[in-house]
Amino acid sequence: MSMIGQVSVKNNQYKIKGDFHHLELGQPIRLADEGWRLIGITNPRHLTHMHSYGGEALFFEGLSQGKLMATRCDNPKCESKGSIYQPFRIYCPDCLSKMTVIDMTNTAKKTAKIHTFMVCERSGAFSLLDKPIKFINVEFTGVCTILMSYLSVGEPKMGMRVVPIFKKLDPTFTILDLSFVPKGTKADQLPSGFSF
């Protein structure tokens, strides 16, 4: 039995272990209208893609620890000096200098508000979220951008105060580890693995 691909980095080199491409026997594709004549085969295959997070890795590590990290431009020559960006950006969009990573968890807990929202009854391929998905655009005091996330409890409303929740138990290290719930939601109402 093969092992699903695992990756680590040591001495600045990728070390890979296990199967990164795995083939299985397929099935014939037959034409029902013409006596089930053979017209092809299926080729099932599993691929493991190595997705590097680069400078954004800190952001995803933070979510697994219950922290919402952002970046701030501290370049004294930048017209937008002091601007805070969430979603996390590595370089300042105005002066292109590398920004400072900051912890904005408390700002999110105290000021997060739904700017606008949309409720999707259907989703794209491979979505792991339960439907209907309540996508929300979240604004924070002192942050110059708006974050796209999803509401896990209740119904979204414009201007509604929300608080972040984090999947600290069995994190996926993806953006799905961050979600929001209306302010005042009790800990026992949170989805499995999530906490404040």
Residue among 102 and 133 whose Cβ is closer to Zn ion: 102
Look at the block and give the residue holding tokens 């004294």.
76
DSSP 161: B
CB of 1 to Zn ion, least distance (A): 52
Per-residue binding string, Zn ion, 149-168, x by CB under 5 A, is --------------------
Length of the chain: 196
Residue among 95 and 129 whose Cβ is closer to Zn ion: 95
Contacts for 61 with CB less than 8 Å, ≥ 6 apart: 173
CB of 97 to Zn ion, least distance (A): 6
Residue among 70 and 92 whose Cβ is closer to Zn ion: 92
Per-residue binding string, Zn ion, 16-55, x by CB under 5 A, is ----------------------------------------
State CA 100 to chain mean position distance: 21
CB of 98 to Zn ion, least distance (A): 10
Q: How far apart are CA 82 and CA 72, in angstroms?
A: 6
Q: How far apart are CA 42 and CA 145, in angstroms?
A: 45
Q: Are 141 and 111 in contact (CB under 8 A)?
A: yes
Residue among 64 and 75 whose Cβ is closer to Zn ion: 75
| Maximum separation of any 2 CA atoms in the chain, in Å | 76
DSSP 22: E
Q: How far apart are CA 41 and CA 37, in angstroms?
A: 12
End-to-end alpha-carbon separation of the chain, Å?
Answer: 39
CB of 75 to Zn ion, least distance (A): 5
Of residues 67 through 106, those in contact with Zn ion by CB under 5 A are 73, 75, 78, 92, 94-95
Residue among 83 and 179 whose Cβ is closer to Zn ion: 83
Q: Are 147 and 135 in contact (CB under 8 A)?
A: no
Residue among 95 and 144 whose Cβ is closer to Zn ion: 95
CB of 20 to Zn ion, least distance (A): 39
CB of 183 to Zn ion, least distance (A): 32
Report the interface residues with Zn ion, using CB under 5 A.
73, 75, 78, 92, 94-95
